[in-house]
Structure 1
Amino acid sequence: MQKIDAHQHFWVFDPVRDSWITDDMSAIQKNFLPQELKYVLHENGMDGCVAVQADQSEEQNSFLLGLTEGNDFIKGIVGWVDLRAENIEDRLAYYSHTKLMKGFRHVLQGEANRALMLEPDFMRGISLLNKYGFTYDILIFPDQLKYAEKLVRQFPDQKFVLDHIAKPYIKDGKIDTWAAEIDLLARQENVWCKVSGMVTEADWHNWTNDTFKRYLDVVFNAFGPNKLMFGSDWPVCLIAGQYAQVKGILSDYCAALSPSEQNAIFGGNAITFYNL
């Protein structure tokens, strides 16, 4: 079974476009391209990755798809389209001819309208994804979990995956409301979850593997090992830890699981979900 990192990013750093990368994130205020990740993946026993959009533009899609040429370890792309556009079906039809475009996401966590995903024009875009074989990555903060649960119930045949376990407030130690809403979301059979993005929600300079145990307990109990997938969130993770440290959090937690369950989490589930 191939080992797949289900969530990472590439970019040529632009201080205007990438203004979300603030000065306290200076470690990632630079370019991150395939040659560097190829080495990191190999060093950590990983065979491939899924590259996820970091900018909401179709130019980003072209950039990511271009990077796949000569880099066959990039197994799939999660891009961006304007799901609210009148011509959304034309855009989906266009990308359906691109073998490595596997799905899309929108940076819902950054929207002033916290329930944007439930607006009719957004849901119309979501309703068309399955027709063209596309997945959808849900990128939200905990306050939006209740809206995500309503969204996924509307489209039982659509494959959804929750990014970064919905970014719980790990630094503040908050868990109860998030945990209850994760449990509700996970009851929908069409929803999977990426175990990713945790270190950047913790105290960047003061965490141990144990910091994440109770959050991992929640997602493992809710989704089970057949609906979870490892994602490094490289290079964003570098703000708070090296790739090996991030992978080590989940490797240690999964040590008691069967080999088949570990293989699923570290590759098999991503291959199934994204049809890699």
Structure 2
Amino acid sequence: MKPIGKNKIIMKIDSHVHFWQYSEKEYPWIGTTMSGIRRDFIPTDAEPIFHRHGIAGCIAVQARQNEAENEFMLSLAKRSSFIKGIVGWVPLKDKSLQSKLEAYAQQPLIRGFRHVIQDEPLLEFMLDPSFIRGLRLLHHHNYCYDLLIKPSHLPVAAALVRLLPAQPIVIDHIAKPDIARGEFTRWAKDIQRLASFDNIYCKVSGMTTEARWKEWSENDFRPYLDTVVESFGLKRLIYGSDWPVCLLSTDYEQQLRMVENYFRSFSKPEQASIFGLNALEFYKIA
């Protein structure tokens, strides 16, 4: 790792990785069409992959909507130093949230939280006053937020962000446009609008599972990558693999190569930002 200015380093970070000990009851979202990931994935599975591709660390992101998930990820991090941060889960609408966040303050590896908004039946879930109160408490306690949504949620997300101009928020998986069916125009318009808020970042992640599984080409992603680069700039884009979910459509090397090939013509400092420094800044990792 080489110094970049004062107290800064080049470090390739995968900002979006999941770990689990699989059971159908605990992970109902892993359906029968996802047979390739209906098994355990733990840090010892990821470590040789990261070593092979020069990944110095990762952010572990929740895959279950309960607080046992936080304890599970913390237990993994105790044995796996390459887990640099954790995005956990808390009941954002719960009146007990304040006391829960005070307790999690004793766990510095927890850098933020996420809720699986894409599965909520109402688009207006994000505008519930209790949800907004929860996000304001996250900001008060210096936590960031991963926003997992689909394109239909983008206009509501923009309304939410207007109310929270200081809360650091990152859009997971470029908001999951249906790349397989060529969903683009409306998504592009709405993502550009959301990117106009300076506190919003975007993860360049999860795209291969929105394309035709195992049948995509790198050209399928170029218009989407062009759009997020133009919309967010190079200081608010963060690389992530979405491993092991990405294995439904490809292997780790292919999804990484696709993103690296796109950014190959960019300068080395720009690549360093997208593949590491932006993640360290967003998740406040020294």
Unaligned runs of 5+ in 1: none
- Tell me the percent identity: 45
Q: What's the offset of the Cα at 1:70? A: 2.2
Aligned to 2:112: 103
Q: What's the offset of the Cα at 1:168? A: 0.3
| Residue deviations 1:178-229 (CA, integer Å, cap 9, x gap) | 0000000000000000000001000102101111000111101000111001
TM-score under structure 1 length normalisation:
0.99
What is the DSSP-based 3-state SS (H/G/I as helix, E as strand, rest coil) of the residue aligned with 2:235?
A: coil
What is the DSSP-based 3-state SS (H/G/I as helix, E as strand, rest coil) of the residue aligned with 1:7?
A: strand
Alignment of 1:95-244 (within 5 A): 95-244=104-253
What is the DSSP-based 3-state SS (H/G/I as helix, E as strand, rest coil) of the residue aligned with 1:68?
A: helix
Q: Is the 8 Å Cα contact of residues 60 and 79 (structure 1) preserved in structure 2?
A: yes
Q: Is the 8 Å Cα contact of residues 84 and 124 (structure 1) preserved in structure 2?
A: yes
Q: Letter of the aligned partner of 2:109 in structure 1?
A: L
Aligned to 1:245: 254
Q: CA RMSD in A?
A: 0.7
Correspondent of 1:54 among 63, 88, 98: 63
Aligned to 1:7: 16
Aligned pair 1:45/2:44, yes or no? Answer: no
Aligned to 2:82: 73
**What is the CA–CA distance in structure 1 between the aligned matches of 2:30 and 2:134, rounded to whole Å?**
29
**What is the CA–CA distance in structure 1 between the aligned matches of 2:23 and 2:284, rounded to whole Å?**
32
TM-score under structure 2 length normalisation:
0.95
Aligned pair 1:83/2:77, yes or no? Answer: no
**What is the CA–CA distance in structure 2 between the aligned matches of 1:184 and 1:94, rounded to whole Å?**
36
**What is the CA–CA distance in structure 1 between the aligned matches of 2:53 and 2:160, rounded to whole Å?**
36
Q: Letter of the aligned partner of 1:69 in structure 2?
A: K
**What is the CA–CA distance in structure 1 between the aligned matches of 2:122 and 2:199, rounded to whole Å?**
25
Aligned to 2:39: 30
Q: What's the offset of the Cα at 1:97? A: 1.6
User: How many residues are matched?
Assistant: 276
Q: Letter of the aligned partner of 1:197 in structure 2?
A: G
**What is the CA–CA distance in structure 2 between the aligned matches of 1:165 and 1:7, rounded to whole Å?**
12
Give runs of ≥4 in structure 1 deviating > 3 Å: none
What is the DSSP-based 3-state SS (H/G/I as helix, E as strand, rest coil) of the residue aligned with 1:128?
A: helix
Q: Is the 8 Å Cα contact of residues 96 and 133 (structure 1) preserved in structure 2?
A: no
